[in-house]
């Protein structure tokens, strides 16, 4: 019996990017464990990924190419050979491309965050083809562009130094569920006497463990940040020296004036909290050193998410919190990798050869699949190639997404591990390898280590890496540029510029970027003049932008649908990944709607009963849990279930909409009014 250990990295869309050791016995992965030597993740994996062998050898893995034989969505597929599948797919794509290659749309996101199995050969393929480009906005572009308009990039504090903070605001983040290794450092700070405050409409398991929980209404973070600024100004808690030297001097007076219009009483009314909560939070933030903010994506999935993220990001610039390495803010660390990543080398946009192709926003795929050709839109979408994503479950307003994917005249190819809701609506499903079966390299959006993932086992069944599938498809399309012959190791080697060295990465498994401990202690923001931006050329001076759908901003709609619904992730799933892993689904049980007792009363909603959650866009079924985790007026629909494994073939995105955020063209999933009634009520 031969047992070896292989060095890997977690590929999932999670800020932690854990270092993993895979134990392989006679060619079979039997155990995955965290690597205790990796400083930011120190040997702990989350429950989801510690079940990786269960997912990898799942009896429902797609093991060979499949071609649809029944009507779309019937679930009837037949096994075909790779040769047959790829030849037919290439022929179909060629026919469409002969009319207009922009009618072909790639659809991919972060099923794997790997640079090789993400956008390398795949991007080259679509660039060479002249297909539509995809605007990858579904998760973080509101906050990301907001940060770029404030600090000049997605840069922030080091994860580890949160352990030394005296005050941590955990803002729009359920860290215990979605950023476990940050939570470890926050716990260390707590043990050393730091105060932890959670700002979240939902009383999460993270909120339970903080000293204080401020349960504001969804989409009101911008107002809260303005209120904090008001208090910082009137109480003289600003760091005038830091502002004078490192803040955009032209923009600050206008913001100062705006903030003075937000006294605690006004903030309290808009946010649905008390004026004392605003004052107390401002006092803590204004008078504690060092003070850190862990901002996360939850607060930017609303209409004003971009402006709100800008306002929060300015707080540590006004108090000079950046002077200390344990002060400042972390939203995403991905910008630190910008200078070492060779994205153009991997993705080769030059293969577009000067063709101006349109861009499709992945967040409006529901509407866009239902559009006809027009001068404004360009050609009707005739083909979709989906990889690393499950849009039928995760994209907003799924009634339209499903109708779009179900179109008889749409040709859809899905590269997947499993028959997801999206794969069910495909013409071809191609089996892809998992992280244990392929080579990859990773950056992170929660720490500053570059990571390597070595393949631990041979591909399961007939599965192939995404790269190999696109290589073989390129050959059949007649794309003979040498870049289509690059193998995965060549791609991994090409992924980074110095000082990241692939051979050293292979030896050690990871490489820490040289980022200063307190990067903005002396300014040096990655902006044109090194100062943080208040008045952005693109977006002006930030302001509170109310939700599309809320009691205060849309009173007529709120009379019909009075409850605000947020749909944060369930702890044991990762977006829609892992929903089909039985042991994890057993922990989650069923799709749940948390509702406050005051809202359940009068609606005939009883604890544990099935309910319909609905609005004009659609309805979904789930089980009601009367719970103090929900605040009055807000219900929490935990996501993101596979529709077919949820109740009545539906999930939370039945009711979300496709209107975009103020900055970053992102979905506003948590800006959504609904009504709730018992499932057996007659509509």
Question: Can you give the binding site for ligand SF4, defined by CB under 6 A?
Answer: 10, 12, 14, 16-18, 45-46, 48-49, 180, 574
Whether the ω angle into residue 499 lies within 30 degrees of 0, i.e. cis, is yes
**Residue 112: which of ligand MGD, ligand SF4, Mo ion, none does it interact with, CB under 5 to 8 A by kind?**
ligand MGD
- Smallest distance from the beta carbon of 15 to ligand SF4, in angstroms? 7
Q: How far is the CB of 207 from ligand MGD (least distance, A)?
A: 8
Residue pair 226/512 in contact by the 8 Å Cβ criterion: no
Starting at the earlier edge strand, list the strands of the sheet with 510-512. Answer: 440-442, 449-453, 510-512
Helix (H) or strand (E) holding 253, with range, is helix 252-259
Residues in region 115-144 near Mo ion by CB under 5 A = 139
Binds 330, which of Mo ion, ligand SF4, ligand MGD, none (CB < 5 to 8 A, cut-off by type)?
none
CB of 427 to ligand SF4, least distance (A): 31
Task: In whole angstroms, give the CA distance from residue 509 to residue 505.
Answer: 5
Query: Which alpha helices (H) appear in 119-220, and where do they start and end?
Result: 121-129, 141-148, 175-178, 180-191, 205-208
Q: How, if at all, do strands 673-678 and 610-614 pair?
A: antiparallel
DSSP tally for the chain: helices H, then strands E: 25, 25
Please name the helix (run of DSSP H) or strand (run of DSSP E) that holds residue 638, with its range, or none.
Answer: none
As measured in angstroms, the least distance from the Cβ of 641 to ligand MGD is: 10
Q: Name the E strands within 475-584.
A: 510-512, 563-566
Complex with ligand MGD: residue 274 or 530, whichever CB lies closer? 274
Given ligand SF4, ligand MGD, Mo ion, none, residue 176, with its beta carbon under 5 to 8 Å by kind, binds none
Q: How many residues are given for the chain? A: 683
Give the integer Cα–Cα distance in Å for 350 and 356: 11
Write down the least CB distance from residue 665 to ligand MGD, Å: 14
In angstroms, give the least distance from the CB of 44 to ligand SF4. Answer: 8
Q: Which is nearer to ligand SF4, 35 or 424 (CB)?
A: 35
For ligand SF4, give the closer residue by CB, 51 or 596: 51
Q: Is the peptide bond before 103 cis (omega within 30 degrees of 0)?
A: no
Residue 393 Cβ vs ligand SF4, minimum distance, rounded to whole Å: 18
The closest of 129, 135, 126 to 99, measured between CA atoms, is 129
Complex with ligand MGD: residue 326 or 584, whichever CB lies closer: 584
111 binds, among ligand MGD, Mo ion, ligand SF4, none (CB under 5 to 8 A by kind): ligand MGD
For the record, the structure tokens of 369 come out as: 């699949």
If the CB atoms of residues 14 and 533 are measured against ligand MGD, the closer one turns out to be: 14
Cβ atoms within 10 Å, residue 632: 13
Q: With respect to ligand SF4, which residue has the nearer C-beta, 45 or 189?
A: 45
Residues that bind ligand MGD (CB under 6 A): 13-14, 109-112, 117, 138-140, 171-174, 177-179, 199-202, 204, 218-219, 221, 296-299, 302, 387-390, 393-394, 415-418, 420, 432, 466, 566-569, 571, 573-577, 639-640, 652-653, 656, 669-670
Residue 69 vs residues 29, 215, 426, 683: alpha-carbon distances, Å: 34, 51, 11, 36
**Partners of 384 in beta bridges:** 105, 412
15 or 106: CB nearest Mo ion: 15
Report, in Å, the least distance between residue 86 CB and Mo ion.
31
Residue 248 or 662: which CB sits closer to ligand MGD?
A: 662
**How many Å apart are CA 117 and CA 504, to the nearest integer?**
21
Which residues inside 408-447 make contact with Mo ion, applying CB under 5 A? none
Chain residues in the site for Mo ion (CB under 5 A): 139
């Amino acid at each position: 019996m031969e047992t070896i250990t292989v060095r890997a990295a977690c590929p999932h869309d999670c800020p932690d990017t854990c270092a993993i050791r895979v134990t392989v016995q006679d060619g079979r992965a039997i155990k995955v464990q965290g690597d205790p030597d990796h400083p930011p993740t120190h040997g702990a994996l989350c429950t989801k990924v510690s079940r990786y062998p269960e997912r990898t050898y799942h009896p429902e893995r797609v093991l060979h190419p499949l071609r649809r034989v029944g009507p779309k969505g019937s679930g009837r597929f037949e096994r075909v050979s790779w040769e047959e599948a790829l030849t037919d797919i290439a022929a179909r794509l060629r026919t469409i491309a002969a009319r207009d290659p922009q009618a072909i749309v790639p659809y991919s996101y972060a099923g794997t965050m790997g640079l090789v199995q993400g956008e390398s050969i795949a991007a080259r393929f679509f660039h060479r083809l002249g297909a539509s480009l995809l605007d990858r906005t579904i998760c973080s572009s509101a906050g990301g562009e907001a940060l770029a308009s404030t600090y000049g990039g997605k840069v922030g504090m080091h994860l580890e130094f949160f352990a030394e903070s005296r005050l941590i605001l955990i803002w729009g983040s359920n860290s215990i569920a979605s950023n476990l290794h940050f939570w470890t450092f926050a716990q260390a700070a707590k043990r050393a006497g730091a105060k932890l405050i959670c700002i979240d409409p939902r009383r999460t398991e993270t909120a339970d463990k903080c000293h204080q929980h401020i349960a504001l209404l969804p989409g009101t973070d911008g107002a809260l940040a303005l209120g904090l600024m008001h208090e910082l100004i009137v109480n003289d808690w600003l760091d005038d020296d830091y502002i004078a030297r490192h803040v955009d001097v032209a923009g600050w007076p206008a913001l100062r004036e705006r903030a003075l219009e937000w006294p605690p009483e006004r903030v309290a009314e808009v946010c649905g909290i008390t004026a004392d909560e605003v004052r107390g939070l401002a006092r803590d933030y204004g008078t504690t050193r060092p003070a850190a903010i862990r901002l996360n994506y939850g607060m930017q999935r609303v209409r004003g998410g971009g402006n709100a993220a800008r306002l929060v990001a300015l707080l540590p610039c006004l108090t000079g919190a950046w002077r200390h390495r344990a002060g400042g803010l972390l939203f995403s660390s991905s910008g630190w990798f910008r200078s070492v990543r060779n994205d153009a080398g991997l993705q080769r946009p030059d293969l577009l050869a000067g063709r101006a192709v349109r861009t499709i926003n992945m967040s409006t795929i529901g509407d866009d699949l239902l559009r006809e050709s027009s001068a404004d839109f360009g050609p009707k979408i005739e083909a979709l190639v989906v990889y690393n994503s499950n849009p039928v479950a995760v994209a907003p307003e799924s009634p339209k997404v499903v109708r779009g994917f179900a179109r008889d005249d749409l040709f859809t190819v899905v590269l997947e591990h499993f028959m997801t809701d999206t794969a069910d609506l495909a013409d071809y499903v191609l089996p892809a390898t998992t992280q244990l079966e392929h080579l990859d390299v990773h950056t992170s959006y929660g720490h500053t280590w570059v990571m390597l993932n070595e393949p631990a086992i041979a591909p399961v069944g007939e599965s192939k890496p995404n790269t190999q599938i696109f290589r073989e498809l390129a050959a059949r399309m007649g794309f003979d540029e040498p870049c289509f012959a690059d193998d995965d190791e060549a791609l991994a080697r090409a992924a980074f510029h110095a000082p990241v060295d692939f051979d050293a990465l292979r030896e050690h498994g990871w490489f820490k970027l040289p980022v200063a401990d307190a990067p903005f202690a002396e300014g040096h923001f990655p902006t044109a003049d090194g100062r943080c931006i208040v008045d952005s050329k693109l977006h002006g001076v930030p302001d509170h932008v109310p939700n599309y759908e809320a009691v205060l901003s849309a009173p007529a709609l709120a009379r019909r649908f009075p409850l605000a619904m947020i749909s944060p992730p369930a702890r044991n799933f990762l977006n829609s990944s892992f929903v089909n892993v039985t042991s994890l689904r057993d922990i989650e049980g069923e799709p749940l709607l948390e509702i406050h007792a005051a809202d359940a009363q009068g609606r005939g909603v009883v604890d544990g009963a099935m309910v319909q959650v609905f609005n004009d866009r659609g309805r979904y079924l789930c089980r009601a849990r009367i719970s103090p985790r929900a605040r009055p007026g807000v219900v929490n629909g935990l996501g993101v279930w596979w529709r077919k494994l949820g109740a009545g073939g539906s999930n939370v995105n039945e009711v979300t909409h496709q209107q975009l955020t103020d900055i970053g063209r992102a979905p506003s999933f948590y800006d959504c009014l609904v009504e709730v009634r018992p499932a057996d009520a007659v509509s």
